[in-house]
Amino acid sequence: MSDRPFIPRDRDWHPPSLHPPYRSTVKRAPAARPLAIAPGRAELSGPVFAAETLHPLDHDLIANYAAALGVEAKPIGERLIVHGRVLDENARPIPDCLIEIWQANAGGRYRHVNDSYLAPLDPAFGGCGRCITDGQGRYAFRTIKPGPYPWPNGDNEWRPAHIHLSIFGHALSQRLVTQLYFEGDPLIALCPIVNAIPDQAAVDQLVARLDMAKQAPFDALAYRFDIVLRGRRQTYFENKREGG
């Protein structure tokens, strides 16, 4: 159980539930302001994850799908290392935190039955991975940079390249979902989902930064994305707009 109280959210930091330029919010936004309920023992405890429950290639999206199929093919696209730290609201590292990611391939297509985008599937890329943070809250994935893709929000709108993340801390109240973007992508400023966030500093928290110090020479560029769970300094999470 947490030994420090939650720091309440700053509701102005997060976007409104209703943002008409992001069309799907018109139908799903609540009519009344959500209530903030103080967490109890059930929300502040468990679960516990162990590194030995993961496959050795779970963190390596470049290899895990092809290895599961028993083929030697490599995914097509720009090879990346995405890494960072998971911290609590008091800047303490969160070890043994389960992080799951999913993404489109280099052409902008997801390996999902409902994705009908005309870009081809990559036979060597599944687009899913997971890892557990170490004692200092550090995590790392090897993957392919996802491509942008069009989406039916308007007449001709495109999502920036992004990776979805599910982060599960040491309490049920810390299971949160977000997505990261890549530094320098001009589509970030044009995205209705991003533009629903009122504070540019919050948008900046969703942008992974190029980190040449962590590159794999002649192999993969690196991007750093740090995550803060809970509190006023929390990374913006798409499933927690109401605050906690």
Residues designated catalytic? 110, 149, 159, 162, 164
Give the C-alpha separation, 66 to 125, whole Å: 7
- Reference 242, options 193, 180, 176, 188; nearest CA is 176
- Reference 162, options 198, 138, 188, 195; nearest CA is 188
- Reference 191, options 174, 173, 203; nearest CA is 203
Cβ atoms of residues 110 and 77 within 8 Å: no
CA 226-228-233 angle, 5° bins: 120
